Amino acid sequence: MTVAEIGNKVAAYQIAYVTVTGGEPLAQPGCLPLLVRLCDDGYRVSLETSGALDISGVDHRVVKVMDLKTPGSGEVDRNRYGNIDHLRSQDQVKFVICDERDYQWSKDQVQRYELAKRCGVLFSPMEDTLPAAWLAEWILRDRLPVRFQIQLHKYLWGNVIGR
């Protein structure tokens, strides 16, 4: 689909908010022009990105929700820490936490990069490996300046590719 076709399809829904996500949107050559088009069309736009690709070219009107991959994900080496410099107060960094080791690592990243002063911080439990209540208790115990979040798509549709 072209950017124009996507814009027309979105318009048919008569909505105010659009999230661009799925796989890694920034790996698609049309992603940046699509984000601009959606903003120009008056939508509130967010981008969910793995954080492995450069976010510096993302339109300033877009809310960026960027992952920092934890050691338990097996993708920690893909984190592009330079992206942190491009985050603003409207943006968010998301950690999907697999276990207590990931939790400690995530706490360290929040402190090291002063993420809570820079943008919103989300801690989300990995559905299959960490009970949500445990993560919530750790956050409360440590009085972390983060928001607890579940991976809602997994509760709604299961862990299904393409939903």
- 45 and 22 share one domain: yes
Q: Which domain holds residue 46?
A: 1-53
- 34, 72: one domain: no
pLDDT score for 135: 97
Q: With respect to residue 61, please indicate whether it lies within any of the assigned structural domains.
A: no
Judge if 78 and 103 occupy the same domain: yes
**One domain, residues 74 and 45:** no
Whether residues 75 and 136 share a domain: the answer is yes
Per-residue model confidence (pLDDT) at position 156? 73
pLDDT of residue 160: 65
Question: Residue 134: inside a domain, yes or no?
Answer: yes
> Is residue 80 in a domain?
yes
Residues 79 and 141 in one domain: yes
Q: Establish if 19 belongs to a structural domain.
A: yes
Residues 144 and 78 in one domain: yes
Q: Is residue 132 part of a domain?
A: yes
Q: How far apart are CA 38 and CA 104, in angstroms?
A: 38
Domain for residue 116, yes or no?
A: yes
Q: Please report the pLDDT score of residue 144 as a whole number.
A: 97
Q: Quickly list DSSP for 85-132.
A: GG--TT-EEEEEE-SHHHHHHHHHHHHHTTHHHHSEEEEEE-TTTS-H
Give the count of domains, the chain: 2
Question: Quick check: is 94 in a domain?
Answer: yes
The Cα–Cα gap between 144 and 42 comes to 35
- My answer on whether 49 and 72 are in the same domain is no
pLDDT of residue 128: 86
- Residue 58, in any domain of the structure: no
pLDDT of residue 37: 97
How do the pLDDT tens digits run along the chain, 163 residues long?
A: 899 999 999 999 999 999 999 889 999 999 999 999 999 999 999 999 999 999 999 999 999 999 999 999 999 999 999 999 999 999 999 999 999 999 999 999 999 999 999 999 999 999 889 999 999 999 999 999 999 998 676 667 776 665 4
Closest CA to 25 of 2, 49, 4: 49
